[in-house]
Structure 1
Amino acid sequence: MRIGIMGGTFDPIHIGHMLAAEAAYDAFQLDRVWFMPSHIPPHKQGAGATGEERLQMVREAVHGNAAFEVIDVEIRRGGVSYTFETIRELQELHPGIQFYFIIGADMVNYLPHWEHIEELAQRLVFIGVRRPGYELALHELPAFLHDRVVLAEMPVVDISSTDIRERIAAGHSVRYMVPDQVFEYITRGSMYEI
């Protein structure tokens, strides 16, 4: 079985995340994509929404897509979310599954800085999803990553969670930037408003 893991803060999850997951699912004929909200990502400031709120937004977003699931392993574990710890745990729980980790183009060039990246690269393949504004320099990656990073193309959508939070705080609409169920969840909870 081939499982793609779409990790992220998802603060909030938006259509760019959904398109990236679908692009990886389609391009590499994955059996499923597991969306995995991080508790505290090592490369970002704290989230605006709680872990449970972000987890619920992801559940709302993937509802109705049989190929997409949500796992809460990093939220449950707490602390800083290091991918190598999570993959070790998932491989112990699910032996025999081939894992792929789906990342945005901005993270591909940053891979050499990930904790225990050499071990992680031995355990899985990274699917880098091209998005606007980021140049990929795969040839500049360390040699051990050259055959551990593959690329998927996705439609051009220039949306970020930061932009969505800022728009909401400024009183602007984010309808259609996030899945409908997520828009309703954010609106019901008056999330991200100042």
Structure 2
Amino acid sequence: MRAGLPFAQPGTRVGLLGGSFDPAHRGHVHITEAALRRFGLDRIWWLVSPGNPLKPHGPAPLRQRIEAARRIMHHPRVEVTGIEAALGTRMTRDTIAALQRLYPGVRFVWLMGADNLVQFDHWDRWQDIAARVPIGVIARPGWRMPARFSRAARMLWRARLPEAQAGQLAQARPPAWAMINLPLNSLSSSAIRADGRKEPT
């Protein structure tokens, strides 16, 4: 296995939660712990990205964001990584394709907030992402209905699993997706940055 990459055996159900995590906060922890339970995952890897091409302002240095994320995310089945930097990928589709080559037999699930589903059709090669891995969507406050009626959701409506079957998502053949509704913490990284506060650990 390439240096800097986590270990996973074939058959392991691994959720991938990508983002700038600038900074990581308890809202990220809450959705991660919920995704582990509700989607029936064995592990979740946080993919702290070198940069987000959809965001106009660059994030804090990668090492700084990873270290801060590791201080707040304390769970034995969650690993904070800089996988995209290690692989040299920037786009989600390329990262997933590389991981599938490196980890044959691992059942990857891409995780995203419902707000990201609303803009998913603007992602680079988004339909290829949906064809490669099941997608677990976590509904955040104010985004349930916009996500449900987004362009990507409408185009993938036949592939949607009922929420009651979300625990089988990792075994589903893509395209497949499920959305879970949670009373989530509305805290956001942008709000923390705007307020000039550090999220308490």
After TM superposition, give the deviation of residue 61 of structure 1 in Å: 2.1
1:53 aligns with: 64
- Asked if residue 15 in structure 1 is aligned to residue 26 in structure 2, the reply is yes
Paired residue type of 2:56 = Q
> Is the Cα–Cα contact under 8 Å of residues 112 and 142 in structure 1 kept in the other structure?
no
Counterpart Cα distance in 2 of 1:34 and 1:103: 13
- Cα RMSD of the aligned pairs, angstroms, is 2.0
Q: Which runs of 4+ in 1 moved over 3 A?
A: 76-79, 142-146
Among 46, 50, 58, the alignment partner of 1:35 is: 46
> Is the Cα–Cα contact under 8 Å of residues 9 and 39 in structure 1 kept in the other structure?
yes
Counterpart Cα distance in 2 of 1:133 and 1:15: 18
2:85 aligns with: 75
After TM superposition, give the deviation of residue 137 of structure 1 in Å: 2.2
Counting only pairs closer than 5 Å after superposition, residues 125-164 of structure 1 correspond to structure 2 as 125-134=134-143, 135=145, 136-138=147-149, 140=151, 141-144=153-156, 146-147=158-159, 148-164=176-192
**TM-score of the two chains, using structure 2 as the length reference:** 0.77
Counterpart Cα distance in 2 of 1:150 and 1:32: 18
SS at match of 1:121: helix
Deviation larger for 2-11 or 116-125: 116-125
> Is the Cα–Cα contact under 8 Å of residues 23 and 152 in structure 1 kept in the other structure?
no
- Asked if residue 165 in structure 1 is aligned to residue 174 in structure 2, the reply is no
Among 95, 102, 110, the alignment partner of 1:86 is: 95
How many residues align? The count is 171
**TM-score of the two chains, using structure 1 as the length reference:** 0.80
Paired residue type of 1:125 = P
Counterpart Cα distance in 2 of 1:89 and 1:78: 10
After TM superposition, give the deviation of residue 29 of structure 1 in Å: 1.1
Name stretches of at least 5 consecutive residues in structure 2 with no aligned partner. Answer: 1-11, 160-175
1:184 aligns with: none
> Alignment identity in percent?
32
1:105 aligns with: 114
Name stretches of at least 5 consecutive residues in structure 1 with no aligned partner. Answer: 181-194
